[in-house]
Homo-oligomer: A and B are copies of this chain.
Amino acid sequence: MSILVDRSTKLVVSGITGREGTFHSLRNRDYGTQVVAGVTPGKGGQDVEGIPVFNTFHDAVQNTGANTAMIFVPPRFAADSILEAEDAGVGLIIAITEGIPAHDELRVFNTIKKNGRSRLVGPNCPGILSPGKATVGIIPASFFKEGNVGVVSRSGTLTYQIGNELARSGFGNSTIVGIGGDPVPGTDFVDVIGLFEADSETDLIVMCGEIGGDAEERAAEFIAASVSKPVLAYIAGFTAPPGKTMGHAGAIVSGSKGTAAAKAEALEAKGVRVGRTPTEVAEVAISLLGAAA
């Protein structure tokens, strides 16, 4: 098993005809993901290296049975594209796009939640990789192999850093989920940790948090209440000054809230081990799972 993406994933890519869209769609396909369709208004009937392009998500879903969407269009078109995918009945929507206006995200999040038909992952996330099965997004899949560590992270490159250290220590991953660094992520730590808890292939859950918001604190509560598997955390931004947005739109310490120290404390109070550096995370993982195969 694994979570969210696997061999049954049938991917439709919004923005497939753009330079980056084409590049990553093909990379995803090369990895083994079934990329069944693309959507670009006005380019319906064309194809991208054999992947058929449709004018609308509705056409794409109707013609290919796509069940997962990747959103790769520029920020000003992204909210519309996500909503179109949801309206077309796509069950999992993974939004890579960075820089979507916050109020767009608010509308999108609340609409998807109230309708209850789809899950949104992202926006501003690197995607989801289930090693050996499928990848959707821009995670450099070659650094990761199949295994029993589930990773969920607000940050892309930090995930690669930690994933890579785990890989060097011999660990593989069930699934790596980038939930993104935006103020209103469609899917939160709690959601993903819940999925890992239920996933038979996952034995250890690693969460990479960062300053801003209270997603880590809520995760701590959830872990204490509902998670039996070991969870290991890393929080970036212990030295971040208050009031400054640290790259991610969601990464900001406001007033006395959202500090890395408070998050680490909340997690440790619930029995979650918190590594102070990416290297320490790998070391703790080894101590928890034993030396890797």
Contact = CB atoms under 8 A, between A and B. Distances in A.
Nearest to A111: B114
A114 B117 CA distance: 12
2 contacts: A114-B114, A114-B115
**Secondary structure of the A contact surface, majority rule:** helix
Contacts of A114: 114-115
A189 to B, nearest CB: 26
Interface in A213-247: none
A114 B115 CA distance: 7
Interface in A73-129: 114-115
Nearest to A114: B114
A207 to B, nearest CB: 31
A115 B115 CA distance: 9
Contacts of A115: 114
A281 B138 CA distance: 69
A86 to B, nearest CB: 14
Nearest to A115: B114
A87 to B, nearest CB: 15
